[in-house]
Structure 1
Amino acid sequence: MTKKNDKHSTDTPEEHLSAADPILSQLIVKFGKCTLFQRNYDPYGTLVRSIISQQLSAKVADTIEGRVLALVQDFNPANILEIPIDRLREAGLSGAKSRYIHELSSRVIDGRMNFDDLHAKSNDEAIAILSELPGVGRWTAEMFLIFGLGRSDVLAQGDAGLKRAVRLLYGEKAVFEKVGKKWKPFRSVASWYLWKYLDS
Structure 2
Amino acid sequence: MQELVARNGELPVLTPAPDPFATLIRSVNGQQLSVKAAASIHARLLERLGTLDAGTLLQTPGDELRAAGLSWAKVRTVKAIAEAAQTGTVDFAHIATLPDEEVIAALIPLPGIGRWTAEMFLMFALARPDVFSMGDLALRQGLARLYPNAPADDVLAGWTPYRTLAARYLWADNHRVKAGGEPVG
TM-score bracket for this pair, using the shorter chain length? 0.7 to 0.9
Residue of structure 2 aligned with 1:160, choices 137, 152, 158: 137
Partners of 2:129 and 2:164 within 8 A in 1: yes
1:191 is aligned, of 167, 172, 176, to: 167
Query: Could you state the TM-score of these two structures normalised by the residue count of structure 2?
Result: 0.83
**Counterpart among 107, 112, 117 of residue 140 in structure 1:** 117
Which of 109, 114, 117 does residue 86 from structure 2 map onto? 109
- Greater C-alpha Rg: 1
What's the C-alpha RMSD, in Å, of the aligned pairs? 2.1
Correspondence 1:32 to 2:32? no
C-alpha contact (below 8 Å) 1:41/1:149 kept by paired residues: no
Give the conservation status (yes or no) of the 8 Å contact 2:17–2:23. no
TM-score, scaled to structure 1: 0.77
Matched with 2:127 is 150
Answer yes or no: is the 8 Å Cα contact 1:166–1:174 preserved in 2.
no
Whether 2:45 is the aligned partner of 1:45: answer: no
Check the 8 A contact 2:15/2:126 in 1, yes or no.
Answer: no
Pick which of 189-198 and 63-72 moved more: 63-72
Q: How does 1:61-100 map to 2 (within 5 A)?
A: 61-100=38-77
Which SS does the other structure have where 1:115 is aligned?
coil
Q: What residue identity is the alignment partner of 1:180?
A: L
Q: Distance in 2 between matches of 1:91 and 1:199?
A: 29
Counterpart of 1:157 in structure 2: which amino acid?
M
Structure 1, unmatched stretches of 5+, are 1-23
The answer on 1:182 being equivalent to 2:161 is: no
Runs of 4+ in 1 over 6 A off after TM superposition: none
Aligned residue-pair number: 176
Which runs of 5 or more structure 2 residues have no equivalent in the other structure? 177-185
Q: Which amino acid aligns with 2:83?
A: S
Q: Is the 8 A contact 2:66 2:72 kept in 1?
A: yes
Aligned-residue offset at 1:43:
0.6
